[in-house]
């Protein structure tokens, strides 16, 4: 918080080198905060202490709000970030904050492993469920890695051998959150073509009937 205050010039002007160093401090702090939150979430899940507040929420509205946070990152990387909400999607049942967390994890992963092309987020209703899919044109995942993809602390290298930043907890947390809300997360992938992660949640009972 104080780093933001200084970077915004509220404590006086900075020279270029000072601003660059403080920006590194801020980025490192945010990365550490993400790591701590992931570890805490995983600990709560394993201890059975995860608290959810399920309500009925509008899926399209939640997706539109959540994707705004990724527009700049996608643009900076030269990627298209697309959203397609089927009009029949309607509402789902779950904890909106946790659903937004799962969607954010899936989109962040797609950005991390996509060098060119696009990321498409879509939603539809299928019987008594709502499906939210995040499809990318990234490096894809080898078939032998798929069974362990949702295990905690699992990280996979890109074909170039580069290991991307992260805790290796995002997908494990996402699947556990989805299942705690009566849904699930699964993936299909083709190496060199991209991956599709799908979050499934219960549809609003009135619409599912």
* Confidence at residue 208, expressed as pLDDT on a 0 to 100 scale: 46
Cβ atoms 137, 114 nearer than 8 A: yes
pLDDT of residue 158: 54
Alpha helices (H) along 10-81? 16-47, 59-68, 71-76
Give me the residue label for tokens 């809300």: 181
Which residues does residue 124 pair with via DSSP β-bridges, in sequence order? 131
pLDDT of 159 above 80: no
Residue 206: predicted pLDDT: 65
Q: Which residue shows structure tokens 């078939």? A: 143
Decide: helix, strand or coil at residue 70. Answer: coil
Task: Write down the mean pLDDT value for the chain.
Answer: 87
Q: 206: which residues sit within 8 A by CB, 6+ positions away?
A: none
* Arithmetic mean of pLDDT, 82-90: 96
Residue 41 has pLDDT above 90, yes or no: no
Asked if residue 198 has pLDDT above 70, the reply is yes
Q: What is the pLDDT of residue 86?
A: 97
Average pLDDT over residues 151-171: 65
Q: Which two tokens stand for residue 17?
A: 């080198």
pLDDT above 70 for 162: no
For residue range 95-136, list pLDDT tens digits in order: 999 999 999 999 999 999 999 999 999 999 998 999 999 999
Per-residue pLDDT for 169 more than 90?
no
Q: pTM score > 0.85 for this model?
A: no
Residue 21 has a pLDDT of: 81
pLDDT at 27: 79
Q: What is the per-residue pLDDT for 13? A: 84
């Amino acid at each position: 918080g104080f780093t933001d205050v200084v970077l915004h010039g509220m404590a006086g002007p900075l020279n270029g080198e000072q601003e660059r160093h403080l920006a590194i401090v801020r980025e490192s702090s945010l990365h550490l905060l993400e790591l701590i939150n992931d570890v805490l979430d995983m600990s709560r899940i394993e201890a059975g202490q995860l608290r959810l507040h399920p309500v009925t929420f509008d899926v399209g509205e939640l997706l539109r709000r959540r994707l705004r946070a990724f527009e700049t990152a996608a643009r900076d990387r030269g990627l298209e970030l697309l959203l397609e909400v089927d009009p029949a999607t309607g509402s789902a049942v779950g904890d909106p904050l946790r659903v937004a967390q799962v969607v954010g994890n899936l989109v962040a992963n797609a950005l991390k492993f996509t060098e060119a092309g696009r990321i498409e987020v879509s939603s539809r209703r299928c019987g008594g469920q709502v499906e939210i899919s995040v499809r990318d044109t990234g490096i894809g995942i080898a078939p032998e890695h798929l069974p362990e993809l949702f295990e905690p602390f699992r990280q996979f290298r890109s074909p170039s051998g580069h290991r991307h930043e992260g805790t290796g907890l995002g997908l494990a947390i996402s699947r556990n959150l989805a299942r705690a809300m009566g849904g699930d997360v699964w993936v299909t992938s083709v190496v060199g073509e991209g991956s599709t992660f799908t979050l499934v949640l219960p549809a609003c009972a009135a619409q599912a009937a």
